[in-house]
Amino acid sequence: MKRKIYLANGLFSEADYNYNELLANQIDELGYDLYVPQRNTAINDKTKVASSIPIYQGDTDELLSSDIIVAVIDGPIIDPGVAAEIGVIAGINEIISSHTRKKILALYTDSRDGTHTPSGDPLNTKAQLLQGGIAESQFSYANLYVIGAIKKYGVVFSSRDELLAYLKKDNIEA
C-alpha cells in the first residue's frame, strides 16, 4: 500500500499555486499517494463562494489519513492554514503511539536564514548588522512553536532537492 502525503502550502497566489504543482509533480514521480488541497475543487475552488466547514472537514479528513505532511513554510510568516495543519498533526502525534506517528517534513528555502552569509558565520554577520542600527536585520524568522512541532516529529529542509532525496529514500525503505 502506498504511503500518503498531504502537501500543505498557501494556495491563493499564482506563485504558490504554480510552486505547489511543481512540487506535487515531483513528489508524484516518487510513487506516493499525494493529496494537494488546491486540486480538490469540490471544496477549494476559489472561483466559487467558499464554505469553512466543508474546507475544514475535507482537508482534515485527508490530513488524518496521511502518513506524512510536507509543509512549505516559506514567506514572511508561515501561512496560517499551514501552521494549523502542522498543529493538527503534532497534536495527534502527542496522543498516539510512537509507531503510528505521522512525519512532519517542512521546506524552508528562505535565503535570509543566516547560513548563506559570505563569512559563513551567522553570529559574526548578525553582529555586523546590529552595527547598522534598528531595522537592518536581514535574518528571517519562523515561529519557534511551529518549528518545534516540526522538529519533534520530522525535519526542516532548506531545499526542494534535499526534501525530494529524503522522500525518495524514505519511500524505498518503507
For residue 87, the model assigns a pLDDT of 97
E-strand ranges in the chain read: 4-8, 33-35, 68-72, 103-107, 154-157
Claim: this prediction has a pTM higher than 0.85: yes
Domains observed in the chain: 4-173 (3.40.50.450)
CA proximity to 139, closest of 120, 150, 125: 125
3-class state of residue 80 by DSSP: helix
pLDDT at 12: 86
Q: If 0-12 CB within 10 Å is exposed, 13-18 middle and 19+ buried, where does residue 32 land?
A: buried
The β-bridge relationship of strands 33-35 and 4-8 is: parallel
What pLDDT shows up at residue 115?
A: 56
pLDDT per position in the chain (174 positions), as tens?
799 999 999 988 999 999 999 999 999 999 999 999 999 988 877 677 778 899 999 999 999 999 999 999 998 899 999 999 999 999 999 999 888 899 999 999 987 665 555 555 666 666 766 676 676 666 778 999 999 999 999 999 999 999 999 999 987 675
Give me the amino acid identity at 141. Answer: Y
